[in-house]
Amino acid sequence: MMPCLMHSASGSPCPKEEWERSPRASSPSSRSSLAASMTTLLLLQVRVKPDKTGVVTDGVKHSMNPFCEIAVEEAVRLKEKKLVSEVVAVSCGPQQCQETIRTALAMGADRGLHVEVPAKEYESLSPFQVSKILAALAKKEGINLLLLGKQAIDDDCNQTGQMTAAFLDWPQGTFASQVTLDGDWLKVEREVDGGLETVRLKLPAVVTADLRLNEPRYATLPNIMKAKKKKIEVVKPSDLGVELTPRVKIVSVEDPPQRQAGVKVETVEDLVAKLKESGRI
């Protein structure tokens, strides 16, 4: 996924949080899982590797996670309102990640940061390591607002934004459906199961984007051409003092079991008989 590190026009150091709840009659927030700040691989057909260590990604085009695309759009809109001075797009992974960074630059980000992780290590990269990388970059770059997608669309975890806030000891506003920046304060309207919750955060802060935050723009051809001239700085995790030793070991990746064909029944009695026959009841 791709986070946006942003320099605010007026920054402030002290994390402080106030909140107020306002329920509404609306659909609950979608399932909470990875707000991974990494490039996501979109596979038309998922195939398990012969050695069962993962899925086949050879020849697969890297694409930006939709939630991260929303985060980039929000960052660019804040800059267009002159509320932030610079938008920096970040991605962790192999060389192909630069394709995704170029997309963010074409949308309006000012420059890119590619944290280069070899393909073999990238496969075991987890939200824990990505969060440490983002926290180190935020300190190095003097960032006071970090925007990420709320989750990835491959493993559906929702951990990176929260872990990054913990490493930085910053307040956080997750599942944001509206963001309002006012000087050193940030108001985040976030989706919860009971409706909406409004959180007021003191900058610096971490925000993760939900679907209803905005609708990302399409990168125009002139902006795509301009993006090719924008700078992408390449750094290694070791440059940031982050080691990538895996904390989780993948024992085996298996194809899901083949589904059995369904059976139609005419009556409730037939249904009960079939369930008894199959040992369900």
User: CATH second-level architecture of 4-256?
Assistant: 3-Layer(aba) Sandwich (3.40)
**Mean pLDDT of the chain, nearest integer:** 82
The pLDDT of residue 49 is 80
Three-state DSSP string of the chain: CCCEEEEECCCCCCCCEEEEEEECCCCCCCCCCCCCCCCEECCCCCCECCCCCCECCCCCCEECCHHHHHHHHHHHHHHHCCCEEEEEEEEEECCCHHHHHHHHHHHCCCEEEEEECCHHHHCCCCHHHHHHHHHHHHHHHCCCEEEEECCCCCCCCCCHHHHHHHHHCCCEEEEEEEEEEECCEEEEEEEECCEEEEEEEECCEEEEECHHHCCCCCCCHHHHHHHCCCCEEEECHHHHCCCCCCCCCCCCCCCCCCCCCCCCCCCHHHHHHHHHHCCCC
Q: What per-residue confidence (pLDDT) applies to 4?
A: 65
Q: Give this prediction's pTM.
A: 0.75
Better pLDDT: 280 or 113: 113
Check whether 39 has a pLDDT greater than 60.
no
Q: Per-residue pLDDT tens for 106-159?
A: 999 999 999 999 988 888 888 999 999 999 999 999 999 999 999 988 778 889
List, for residues 209-234, the tens digit of each pLDDT value: 999 999 999 989 999 999 999 999 99
- Residue 26: its pLDDT value, please? 38
Q: How confident is the model at residue 255 (pLDDT cuts 50, 70, 90)?
A: confident
Mean pLDDT of 3-11: 53
Q: What is the pLDDT of residue 31?
A: 32
Task: Compute the average pLDDT of residues 160-166.
Answer: 95
Q: What percent of the chain is modeled with pLDDT above 70?
A: 83
pLDDT digits (tens, 9 = 90+) for 16-31: 333 333 333 333 333 3
pLDDT given at position 235 = 95
Strand partners, 7: 86
Residue 46 pLDDT: 66
Q: How confident is the model over 185-195, as a mean pLDDT?
A: 92
Place 269 in a pLDDT band, splitting at 50, 70 and 90. very high
pLDDT at 42: 40
Rounded mean pLDDT, 46-50: 77
Please indicate whether residue 58 or residue 228 has the higher confidence score (pLDDT): 228
Across residues 179-207, what is the average pLDDT? 93
Average pLDDT over residues 72-76: 95
Every domain of the chain and the residues it spans? 4-256
Q: Of the ranges 20-34, 150-164, 193-207, which one carries the lowest mean pLDDT score?
A: 20-34
Give me the pLDDT at residue 212, please.
92
